[in-house]
C-alpha cells in the first residue's frame, strides 16, 4: 500500500467520527443536562454548548435555540464538568486546519449554531457567528478565543473584559483507553 493511502486511512480514523461515536452522550451530574459527544483525534468534545448555570452565571441568558449559557471569561474557566476542560488554542487550531484541508466540516461535525455573543449585556452577532472561550491565559483583559462564522473559523485575541463579553462553551476531555 502506498504512503498516500496509508495517510488517507489514518486521517479517516483520526478525524471522522463514526455513527456510533456520534451517539455517545454525557450527563452532567451537577444539573442532569445530557450532551452528545463527538470524538475527534485524542479528545471527546461536547457536541452542544454547555447549559450549566454555575452560581456566578445563574442570571446569565440561556438561549432557547440550543445556544446554552453565555459565560464571562472568569466564569468559563471553572464551568466545565469534573474531568472536562476548555479546549486549548493548539487543539482548536488543529481542528481549523483539518477543516481547511477538507478532512472535516467543523461546524457540522460539532453541531455549531451561530449563537452570537453578549457584549455590554446585550446579545450581538446572533445568526452571524459563534464565539467560544479557550483555555488560555488572559493578559491585560485580552485572551485568545475562537470565532466561527459557519464556514470560516479564526482564533484571535482582543480586550474581552471592558465589553463584558460573554460566550458559550464547548468542553473537552481526553480519551482514556
Q: What percent of the chain has pLDDT over 70?
A: 81
Extents of the domains making up the chain: 3-174
Stretch 36-46: mean pLDDT: 92
The pLDDT tens digits of the residues spanning 21-36 come to: 445 899 999 999 999 9
pLDDT at 18: 41
pLDDT exceeds cutoff 50 at 71: yes
pLDDT at 14: 47
The pLDDT tens digits of the residues spanning 86-127 come to: 999 999 999 999 999 999 898 899 999 999 998 888 888 989
Stretch 135-156: mean pLDDT: 89
Quickly count: other Cβ atoms within 10 Å of residue 14's Cβ.
15
| pLDDT bucket at 81, cuts 50 / 70 / 90 | very high
pLDDT exceeds cutoff 50 at 37: yes
The chain-wide mean pLDDT, for the chain, equals 83
Stretch 154-173: mean pLDDT: 89
CA-derived radius of gyration, the chain: 16
| pLDDT bucket at 3, cuts 50 / 70 / 90 | low
| pLDDT bucket at 161, cuts 50 / 70 / 90 | confident
Q: Are 155 and 96 within 8 A, CB to CB?
A: yes
pLDDT at 87: 96
| pLDDT bucket at 59, cuts 50 / 70 / 90 | low
The C-alpha atoms of residue 32 and residue 20 are separated, in whole angstroms, by 22
Residue 139 zone, left/alpha/beta (φ > 0; ψ -120 to 50; rest): beta
Amino acid at each position: 500500500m502506498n504512503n498516500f493511502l496509508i495517510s488517507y486511512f489514518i486521517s479517516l480514523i483520526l478525524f471522522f467520527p463514526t455513527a456510533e461515536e456520534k451517539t455517545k452522550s454525557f450527563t452532567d451530574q451537577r444539573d442532569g443536562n445530557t450532551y452528545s459527544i463527538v470524538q475527534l483525534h485524542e479528545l471527546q468534545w461536547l457536541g452542544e454548548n454547555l447549559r450549566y448555570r454555575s452560581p456566578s452565571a445563574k442570571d446569565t441568558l440561556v438561549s432557547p435555540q440550543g445556544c446554552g449559557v453565555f459565560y464571562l471569561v472568569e466564569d468559563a474557566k471553572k464551568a466545565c464538568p469534573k474531568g472536562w476542560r476548555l479546549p486549548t488554542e493548539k487543539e482548536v487550531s488543529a481542528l481549523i486546519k483539518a477543516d481547511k484541508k477538507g478532512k472535516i466540516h467543523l461546524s457540522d461535525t460539532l453541531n455549531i449554531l451561530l449563537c452570537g455573543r453578549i457584549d455590554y449585556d446585550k446579545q450581538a452577532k446572533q445568526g452571524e457567528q459563534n464565539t467560544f472561550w479557550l483555555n488560555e491565559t488572559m493578559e491585560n483583559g485580552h485572551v485568545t478565543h475562537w470565532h466561527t462564522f459557519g464556514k470560516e473559523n479564526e482564533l484571535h485575541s482582543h480586550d474581552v473584559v471592558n465589553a463584558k463579553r460573554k460566550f458559550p462553551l464547548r468542553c473537552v476531555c481526553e480519551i482514556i483507553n
